[in-house]
Chain A
Amino acid sequence: MEQFNDIYKQHYTSIYRLVSKFRLNSHEAEDIVQDVFVKLYLQFNSGNQVQYPKTWLYKVAVNVCINTVSRRKETESIESVSQLEFGTSDSLETNIDQNEREEIIRSALLKLKEHERLVVILYSEGLSYKEIAEVSGIKFTSVSQNLSRALEKLRPLLKKHYYEMLNQ
């Protein structure tokens, strides 16, 4: 079990960070992370070898998150957020606080197709294309295609911050 403890300490933060990128509150995120590590514990306990624990954990975490989110069936309207995104008033834009900014980003992600969203989230975690393919179940050769398509879709939705960076 020493091996399990090492993996737990090594990957807890990254799995928590990944889970928090889905629309989940902190309690749900903690429960899911715990759930993921319990699954890993059971694997170790039953004597099964997990060859690549990082990929395994990401895969299980993503599946649990998708199931949780789809079970909840979010019905939030993103209309109000869209108005904020495309607003041209500087005063309005400068007044967007952290929560609203987060809401814009989450809503922009929601406008993507599910596999595109997943690819972008995993990409933001710094995973290689091979790891993204393994975790998401998408073909390795399709990862770059999905990624560039998703980034293109996100460009207008997140243009404010994008231009901020361009001007830096």
Chain B
Amino acid sequence: MKCLTNEQIQRFIDREMPSLQPEQFQHFISCPSCRALYNEQKLLAQSIKKQINSVAKLPERIPEFQIPASITHTAPRVKRFPLWAKMAALLIPACFVWKMTMKPDKLNEKEFKPTAESIRMYEMCNSVDANTAFQENMIITTVTDANGKVVKCGTN
């Protein structure tokens, strides 16, 4: 078993070591150098404590606690908000008011001007019911010549 270190002995002196291990304690009891170090270090610590405390001064009396005038006369602290919070507080209601005052038709409705082609497409799409059988729908058959002119037109 190795001897205890200065640090371990210091903790032992100050009772800051939770507990020595049984083998450490056995060693401490049986080792004269560890016990000598313990005694010497204990005396050193006491001596240095005493010497440092001899430097310290004590107050002649405990003065009454005076609250500084700067604390007593200051106005109550107003909670200051950051710049972004101030900007947000201005902009959010402004946007809301602007939106409310604008005419809704100008904002939401676009002018509806369907072209003839789009009307024809719409009607054609609506004329065919996707749920009915294909055979039931009308099939228009057109025959054209080489120039693309309609020669014959018929339905089923």
Contact = CB atoms under 8 A, between A and B. Distances in A.
A124 B57 contact: no
B62 A17 contact: no
Contact of A37 (B9, B56, B65): B65
B43 interface: yes
A128 interface: yes
Contacts of B50: 161, 165
Interface in B26-78: 41, 43-59, 62, 65-68, 71
B123 interface: no
Interface residue tally of chain A, by bracket? 35 or more
A56 B9 CA distance: 29
Contacts of A29: 57
Contacts of A154: 48
Interface in A37-70: 37-38, 41-42, 45
A9 B63 CA distance: 9
A102 B43 CA distance: 20
Interface residues of B, number: 31
Main secondary structure of the interface of B (DSSP, over half): helix
A101 B10 CA distance: 26
Given A101-B54, A151-B10, A151-B44, 12 more contacts: A5-B65, A9-B62, A13-B59, A17-B56, A21-B52, A38-B67, A105-B55, A123-B45, A129-B14, A144-B11, A151-B45, A155-B44
A144 B16 contact: yes
Contacts of A102: 54-55
Interface of A: 4-5, 8-9, 12-13, 16-18, 20-21, 26, 29-30, 33-34, 37-38, 41-42, 45, 101-102, 105-106, 109, 120-121, 123-124, 128-129, 144-145, 147-148, 151-152, 154-155, 158, 161-162, 165-166
Contacts of B9: 148
B6 interface: yes
Contacts of A4: 65
B71 A124 contact: no
A41 B52 contact: no
B82 to A, nearest CB: 20
Nearest to A102: B55
B51 A105 contact: yes
